[in-house]
Amino acid sequence: MNPLLAKEATRALLALEDGTTFEGLSVGATGETFGELVFNTSMSGYQEVITDPSYAGQIVAFTYPQIGNYGVCAADMQSDGAALAGVIVCDMCHTPNNWRSEGTLPDFLAQRGIVAIECVDTRALTLRVREAGTMRCAISTTDLDPASLVARVKAAPSIAETNWVAKVSTPEPYDVDAKVDLDRPRRRLRVTALDCGEKRGILRGLIGAGMDVHVVPWDTPAEKILATNPDGVFLSNGPGDPRELPEPAACAEQLLGRVPVFGICLGHQMICQAAGAAIEKLPYGHHGGNQPVMNLLSGMVEVTAQNHNYGLVFDSLGELDAELSGGTEVVDAWHAANTHDLRFWSERRIAPVISTEKFGRIRLTHVNLNDGTPEGIQFLDIPAFSVQYHPEASPGPHDAVYLFEAFRRLMEGVPDYLAIDVREGRRF
């Protein structure tokens, strides 16, 4: 038995769908919770992760050894509550030391009814997920019989069977005014944001780029959005399986070509589905603040924050336009390679273009350098673009924050709106 379990505390049990179990101690609310297991590799920003609505229905295992060491504070909240199903850590800090701290993470979790477990070998757990893929799991302080809890996990519904977006979206529209930049006065643009679980960090990114934002619920029809007379429409991040959300995808399809559109994460997946693409579930997803992504337009590599289990199948959009994709020889080499690994294009510094029936030409703009999955697209014949990752850095690096300014430039009609050098504030 783990010697740490000898201390006085409420016992807890973690059970995985494949039959694996881990003993531990309760460090949140007592009771039990069921959800989809994912691991997050961020070294900090645990409160932003826990309050990110995109984690609804998921139990998050933090790979960093100690969590909670700088406490919690209201300024770091990404939503009003905590939508995730549970938390798994190796070592939970109960005595944080930081001038911003307003309380401990265990108390924060307990007050919000979040079941959590510590003393888990999160290295072994992460390797198990990497080998077996994302799976259902449960944490319980009441059912400590491994066989019983595993059986109940196997009988639990999958995350795709619940509309998590409806649970985390705003019930009513609301408005947030742009931040005024006294050093660079400019026209405030009007943006309508479809809230599928929008993080506050993203909202801050939009208003920081000089946008007045009108936020509407996830199931708002396209015509009602257009009736707000926006300069552009933003499609937000959110939880769950995008293939089970036909309403937002239909809304995106009706918006494309009629108004400038920008999408992040689930919003990106909506746009891809609207363009006729297939969406696949990744083996264990991307969750953390250290994912390298190449911008194919500039050749620069961005270290990005990510949180998604699903992604675009780039080839499903249509056939490559050889003339705009490096020439016939390169396209033939791509087909001969018979691979979906898009690092083929990052190695050649080429942003390939696919011709689609619905919306014309679509260009691949960003590629994940860890696994070669697509991370961003740009429509060449209508004003729209989207990325799979999170540019708002909540938590994570600031490399991709330029995308909010790119959205502004798109609405202003700048032809090369994505060509921004974030280091010097100039075009490439």
**Angle (CA) 265 133 306, round 5°:** 25
Both tokens of 90, joined, read: 């190796």
Question: Using the 8-state DSSP alphabet, how is residue 166 labeled?
Answer: H
Would you say 54 is a known binding-site residue?
yes
- Report d(CA 365, CA 214) in Å as an integer: 28
Would you say 111 is a known binding-site residue?
no
Q: Helix H segments across 213-289?
A: 222-226, 246-255, 266-274
Would you say 28 is a known binding-site residue?
no
Would you say 269 is a known binding-site residue?
yes
- Report d(CA 165, CA 168) in Å as an integer: 5
Q: Which of 273, 277, 302, 428 is nearest to 368 (CA)?
A: 302
At position 32, the amino acid (one-letter code) is E
Distances (CA, A) of 200 to 142, 206, 324: 35, 10, 38
- Active-site residue list: 265, 390, 392
Q: Which of 284, 300, 278 is nearest to 421 (CA)?
A: 300
Would you say 240 is a known binding-site residue?
yes
Residue 20, φ and ψ in degrees, nearest 5: -70, 140
- Report d(CA 341, CA 116) in Å as an integer: 37
Would you say 310 is a known binding-site residue?
yes
37 beta partners: 59, 135
Would you say 144 is a known binding-site residue?
no
Binding residues for L-glutamine: 54, 238, 240, 266, 269, 307, 310
